[in-house]
Chains A and B, each alone.
Chain A
């Protein structure tokens, strides 16, 4: 059974204080690992897809990396508008469905 564990559950940062979110996963053959951002009362917003170990992707202050067992979402010099819940999901080879972690709730204070 595919499993995704995200840590920490919640993270509070000061504006400009860089940090990383962790996503550990077990899957029977990884097709893709996905990062989403979810604001309260909204649907998830797509951020990145990573397909193989060593791959990195960047978007503004966010950078996602992937190893064979985990993925990190690095947030550089965060701003209050980066406050949200960040969700990680895996897709197994041969399947279209996603298995989600519980997310990391990020709060960035000015």
Chain B
């Protein structure tokens, strides 16, 4: 399956600052990537679908102005958490779609907002 990396693996920031998380597809050109958020002992919740060269599609309840997604190339999608607050602290995971719609996930990014 596809190999996916994320950077950084963890980040700590102050409340009110912005944080950018990168998701890279290392061996596959991904026209579609997905961004998920996972709170402790909870399942993965889809935040948005990122499409190369076009605007992302956000799930209901996800603020598009707060979680900015850019899919500028077939191997890179970025998620920027703007004006982060402690309630944004979570585990953010991206995935790419390959092989009959199977999604392969990155290792995740742990965000802690102080």
Which residues in A have some Cβ–Cβ distance to B below 8 Å?
A: 31-32, 34, 36, 41-46, 49, 87, 89, 91, 96-103
Offer 8 A-B interface pairs, CB within 8 angstroms, sorted by A: A34-B103, A41-B91, A42-B107, A44-B93, A49-B102, A97-B46, A98-B34, A102-B42
Assess whether A31 is in contact with B101, with CB atoms less than 8 Å apart. Answer: yes
Assess whether B101 is in contact with A100, with CB atoms less than 8 Å apart. Answer: no
Bound-state CA distance A102–B105 (Å) is 17
Assess whether B106 is in contact with A98, with CB atoms less than 8 Å apart. Answer: no
Assess whether A41 is in contact with B34, with CB atoms less than 8 Å apart. Answer: no
Across the A-B interface, the 10 shortest Cβ-Cβ residue pairs: A43-B105, A100-B43, A102-B43, A43-B108, A100-B44, A44-B105, A43-B107, A43-B93, A43-B106, A49-B102
Interface residues on B, range: 20 to 34
Assess whether A98 is in contact with B103, with CB atoms less than 8 Å apart. Answer: yes
Bound-state CA distance A65–B20 (Å) is 40
Q: Could you say which residues of chain B place their CB within 8 Å of the CB of A103? A: 43
Assess whether A45 is in contact with B43, with CB atoms less than 8 Å apart. Answer: no
Q: Could you say which residues of chain B place their CB within 8 Å of the CB of A46? A: 1, 102-105
Bound-state CA distance A63–B107 (Å) is 25
Bound-state CA distance A89–B100 (Å) is 15
Assess whether A41 is in contact with B43, with CB atoms less than 8 Å apart. Answer: no
B32 at the interface (CB under 8 A from A): yes
Smallest beta-carbon distance A95→chain B, Å = 9
Residue interface bits B84-114, CB-to-A below 8 A is 1, else 0? 0000000101010100111111111010000
Kindly report which residue of chain A lies nearest to residue B104, judged by CB atoms: A46
Assess whether A41 is in contact with B108, with CB atoms less than 8 Å apart. Answer: yes
**B101 contacts which of A91, A99, A101, A102 (Cβ < 8 Å)?**
A91
Q: Could you say which residues of chain B place their CB within 8 Å of the CB of A100? A: 43-45
Q: Give 11 A-B pairs besides A41-B91, A43-B106, A44-B105 with Cβ atoms closer than 8 angstroms.
A: A32-B100, A32-B101, A36-B105, A43-B95, A43-B107, A45-B105, A46-B102, A89-B44, A97-B46, A98-B34, A101-B43
